[in-house]
Amino acid sequence: MPKIIFIDAANRTYPVEAHAGRSVMDAAVDNNVPGIVGECGGSAMCATCHVYVESPASGASKPVRPEEEVMLEFTASERRSNSRLGCQIKLNDTFEGAVFRVPERQV
């Protein structure tokens, strides 16, 4: 159960006990972290789970798959070099302490 941290656009922090095998989006939604919508349920079809990976864990550096790459072009807030779809990052114990910044807008 890695502990990960979300930081919203107002710099409020949300430490979360996440479950290995779940996604970053799941961890946010399960713990009522504001600003992560997850409208499509994790199918890489909505971009409302956009996060900025502030403190990369080894698992987060996996290559972005083509369908994620396409959706990252449609984020409501600016896309940055560390932008990812939270639903496409599957958590494991190597994510302990990882930090994900929540964009100002998702829609």
Residue 47 makes contact with ligand FES by CB under 6 A: yes
User: How many Cβ atoms from other residues are within 10 Å of residue 42's Cβ?
Assistant: 18
Closest contact distance (angstroms) between CB of 84 and ligand FES is: 10
Residue tagged 């994620």 (tokens): 68
SS3 (DSSP) at 5:
strand
Nearest in space to 16 (alpha carbons), one of 34, 4, 25, 1: 4
Residue 71 makes contact with ligand FES by CB under 6 A: yes
Which of 42, 89, 95, 98 forms a contact with ligand FES (CB under 6 A)? 42
Residue closer to ligand FES (CB basis): 84 or 95 = 84
Distances (CA, A) of 12 to 3, 5, 27, 35: 16, 10, 17, 12
Size of the site for ligand FES (CB under 6 A): 15
Residue 85 makes contact with ligand FES by CB under 6 A: yes
How far apart, in whole angstroms, are the C-alpha atoms of residue 85 and residue 24? 8
Give me the 3-22 binding string for ligand FES, x by CB under 6 A, dash otherwise: --------------------
Which of 7, 16, 25, 28 forms a contact with ligand FES (CB under 6 A)? 25
